[in-house]
Every structure is written in C-alpha cells, then in structure tokens.
Amino acid sequence: MKTAGGTAASNFCLSRKIEGTRGPVYIVFSDLDGTLLDHHTYSHAGAQEGIDLLRERSVPLVLVSSKTLPEMTELHGMLGLDSPFVFENGGGIAWPDKTKSGEPLRVEIQGFPIEELQAKFNALKTVIPVPVKSILDMSVEEVMERTGLPNKRAALARERQSSIPFILLEKHDIDLFELGRINIQLREQGLGITRGGRFFHLISRDSTKGSAVRKIISTYTLLHEKEDIVTMAVGDSENDIPMLKEVDRPCLVRKHDGSIIQTGLPDVCITKSIGPAGFTEAVKTLWI
C-alpha cells in the first residue's frame, strides 16, 4: 500500500487544538451526498442550521465522502471549514496545513493509487455475476446524466486518486450478505467494494471511511489527552457503516425516499427527517 504526506497529521496537530472548550470535546463526522447535501439538488440548505450550531460551539465538522479531492476541496471552502476531510471513501485524508509550506492542504493517500486499482479492476468480473462499468469509462456527459451534477463537478468526479466508482450494467441486487461474500473473495487481492447512494466503489481493502475516521480521532485524542472526546457520525448509505462503527454516537438520516439502511449496529440514532434536515436533527441531539 502506498502512503503519501506522512507528516500531514503532525503539522495539523501543532496548530489545531480546539480552544476555549468546556466539558467534553465534540467531533462530528458527516457524509455528504444524501446526508449533508440533498440527494437530488446537492443543496446543503437544510443542514445550514446544524453547521452553524457546530461553528458557534467550536465543534469540528469533518466531511467524509466518496467525492474526489478537488470536489471536496471546493465544498470544504464553500462551507468555510478548517477541519480535516476524508475523500474517496477513506482513500485519502486532507489535513489543513498551518505551516509555511505554501500549500493549504497536506494530502495523505491510503491504499492503492489509482493506477494500481485500474489494473486490478477486472477482478470484479470474477466476483460480480453481471457486467460493470467504471466511472473512468464514462464521458462527462454520462456522469452528468447519472448524477445530476453540472459539467464542472461531473468532470471533477472523474479525477480519482484512490477509488473507482462503478455501476452494474444489468439488474442485480447486491444485498449486505452478497456484499460480504464479494469482499471475502476480493480480500486476497487487497481489494474491497462498498455501496454509496448512486455507485458501487472499488477501494483498497483497509482504506475505508472507518479507517480514515479512526486516524482523525487519534489525532484529536493526542491534542486533547486530558479531556473527554465525544464523537458523532452521520450518514445514510452502506459505505457509511465503517464510519458509524468508529464513533460514540452513530446516526442514520433517512434517504430521499424515507427509507433507512440496515447497519447491524446497536443503539443507532435514526432521524425523522430526510437528508440535510436529518443532519441538523442529528447535530441537535449532541446536547440533549
């Protein structure tokens, strides 16, 4: 496995201790599409109240998404955040860099780089009984059609570094049981798949949202070694389950059709509201 930017976390640590906190130190991790962003419009309007509440209370909001680094960098800036963020389902972590390196972010890639994943993509043919198509084999126009993204963002969605979204070309239901079976078969090659709101994703076996969240929690724990840390994660899809497993307060928001996924986890908060409004609802439970 290839790792880049090994000093990223330490540079972040030197400058990101949360000041002025009383009681527990809270950290909130959130998925984007279907959670903080509306499934259809990609608007975060319904989540704004929750985002503002976290900002008022100096609680880091760590975005955790299947989106690419350039997509995430744009959204991170638009939301005015200065915390780390996770891209490509845990394939990479971007750490805000307060040193004098000249770069605003230090990027740490986890798992196989994109070239190796592309070379291994054909392994899916041996474990999935229907044909598949990679986002890298789609035109920008097809990505736009499948996602509803505008041209620029659809182009950014194809700039992969450490994961490959793909679709099934024939109707076939991959439930959690079959997902587990497929991942057992892929494990020997250091691979895995996960499912988001619109795509399946080929990833490195141990480079999940969960592994990235665990690393970020460890960083904050070092900063606050004499304080209690309370972590929350908010998500809506199967690829969020590894993230939900790593926190004190896992929370599911309802999907755009009102449904919820099965996680197998005990004590999961389930919101009444859908998507971004559900994110705000979840955030409010931190202080109840």
Q: How many residues does the chain have?
A: 288
Token pair in block for residue 149: 């993204």
Q: Do 11 and 106 form a contact (C-beta atoms < 8 A)?
A: yes
Token pair in block for residue 154: 């659809």
Q: For residues 132 and 114, what is the distance between their CA atoms, to the nearest angstrom? A: 18
144, 155, 212 from 147: Cα distances, Å = 5, 11, 25
Question: Is position 31 annotated as part of the catalytic site?
Answer: yes
- Catalytic residue of the set 31, 38, 97, 240: 31
To which residue do tokens 């998404």 refer?
65
Q: Do 57 and 25 form a contact (C-beta atoms < 8 A)?
A: no
Q: Do 31 and 234 form a contact (C-beta atoms < 8 A)?
A: yes
186 sits in which H/E element: helix 176-187
Token pair in block for residue 98: 């307060």
Question: Which residues does residue 119 pair with via DSSP β-bridges, in sequence order?
Answer: none
The end-to-end CA distance of the chain, in Å, is 42
Task: Name the 3-class secondary structure at 82.
Answer: coil
Could you tell me which of 215, 201, 193 has the C-alpha nearest to residue 109? 215
35, 134, 275, 282 from 251: Cα distances, Å = 11, 30, 12, 7
Give catalytic residue positions.
31
